[in-house]
Structure formats: structure tokens, C-alpha cells
Structure 1
């Protein structure tokens, strides 16, 4: 067994625990992210709004990935992503 396999084996219980916490408290964490982003945006007087929104979106995406366990189906779990908007009518 290689070093990477040993590390993965040791961290597996922690990953499961974090995933469970993300499932139970995901809404609270995402609310906190929104609140923190708003405060930072106000303190910087909107100068970094785009970067703040990008960072907040990435953090929320990471929370969503942590909250989804193996075997659960949902958006982003393989397959084709849903279209962003309906096709234009001709």
C-alpha cells in the first residue's frame, strides 16, 4: 500500500463526518456565506463585488459537493447538466 492509499484510508472517516455535517447544516453555512459576502462587499464599498460573488459561488458549490454522498443522484452527479435556459422559439 502506497503513501497516498494510507492517507486516503486515514482521512475516510473524517470525509464521511464532514459530509454528514454538510448535509445537516448546509443551509446554515450557505446563509453564513451570503451574510459574510454582504459584509465584505459593504466594507470594500462594492469595489470587489464580482470577485466576492465568484468566491461565494465556489464555496457554495464546494458545500453542495460535500453534502452529496456516493450513490445519491442529483444535479451535477454525472450525466448531462441541465440547460441554462430554454432554446429560443422560432
Structure 2
């Protein structure tokens, strides 16, 4: 296993933890706020949809044993 495989495994493990879920949510919320500020509130529906889709793909709070 190479160094990148190890880093990927650690990142995946972190994102699948509760702390990782909280950090990814925090990051996505800040990014969505910045995008809404840049593109205007009239685009907020689209921005929030993309934020939610990204959140679904990043991390999970489910038990990996399931």
C-alpha cells in the first residue's frame, strides 16, 4: 500500500466519523454561503441543492458494519 492509499483510507475513515460529518457540514455551509453571496440570493435554491447533494456524497453517519 502506497502513501496515497494510506492517506485516502485515513480521509475516508475521518469523513465517515461523526466529527468528519460535522466538519464537512461546516465546510459545505460556508461554501454555500459564499456562493450565495457571490451569485445572489436568487440562486440560493440551486446552491442549496448542490450543497445537499455534496453532503450526501461526503461522509456518512451510518455504521459501516451495516
TM-score above 0.5, yes or no = yes
Any stretches of 5+ residues in structure 1 without a counterpart?
A: 1-9, 73-90
Q: TM-score, normalised by structure 1?
A: 0.52
The Cα shift of 1:14 comes to: 5.9
User: Which residue does the alignment assign to 1:47?
Assistant: 42
Alignment gaps of 5+ in structure 2: none
The verdict on how the C-alpha distance between 1:70 and 1:15 changes in structure 2, with shifts beyond 3 A counting, is: farther
Give the equivalent residue in structure 2 for 1:75: none
After TM superposition, where is structure 1 displaced by more than 4 Å over at least 4 residues in a row? 12-15
Task: Determine which structure has the larger helix proportion and give its number.
Answer: 2
Q: Which of structures 1 and 2 has the larger relative contact order (alpha carbons within 8 angstroms, sep 6+)?
A: 2
* Whole-Å separation in 2 of the counterparts to 1:47 and 1:64: 29
Q: What RMSD over aligned residues (CA atoms) do the two structures have, in Å?
A: 2.5
Q: Number of aligned pairs?
A: 61
Question: Do the aligned residues in 2 keep the contact of 1:19 with 1:69 (CA within 8 Å)?
Answer: no
**Which structure has the larger Rg over C-alpha atoms?**
1
